[in-house]
Amino acid sequence: DAGVTQSPTHLIKTRGQHVTLRCSPISGHKSVSWYQQVLGQGPQFIFQYYEKEERGRGNFPDRFSARQFPNYSSELNVNALLLGDSALYLCASSPSFGEELFFGEGSRLTVL
């Protein structure tokens, strides 16, 4: 069975650009969450989506947005990139919220 898949795995952007990261949850999982992991730190919660509705938002600026599609896949968008946005962006899925979270391998974003 396929786990959580994320794309792209690595990408390089310059300051001010926009980025879209994609996530496909485990089959049957309806909840998708996004986390940001800066090097040397634990992941930090960005968003949670369940049944296409935002169910939670972390302490991130409005430059960060996300959505969930009818097939439960999800996109994370970041506008006006800053150097500090360089991080590993992790997507996690669960059958329903409050259950075990399964993480993907992440998308490594470098902002120059």
Summarize as ranges the residues that interact with other proteins (CB under 8 A).
Answer: 4, 31, 33, 35, 40-45, 48, 55-56, 58, 88, 90, 92, 94, 97-98, 100-106
Q: How far is the CB of 101 from other proteins (least distance, A)?
A: 6
- Of 58 and 73, the one with the shorter C-beta distance to other proteins is 58
- Of 50 and 78, the one with the shorter C-beta distance to other proteins is 50
Q: How far is the CB of 104 from other proteins (least distance, A)?
A: 5
Q: DSSP secondary structure string, 10-37?
A: EEEE-TT--EEEEEEPPTT--EEEEEEE
Of 33, 10, 44, 52, nearest to 99 (Cα)?
33
Q: How far is the CB of 26 from other proteins (least distance, A)?
A: 12
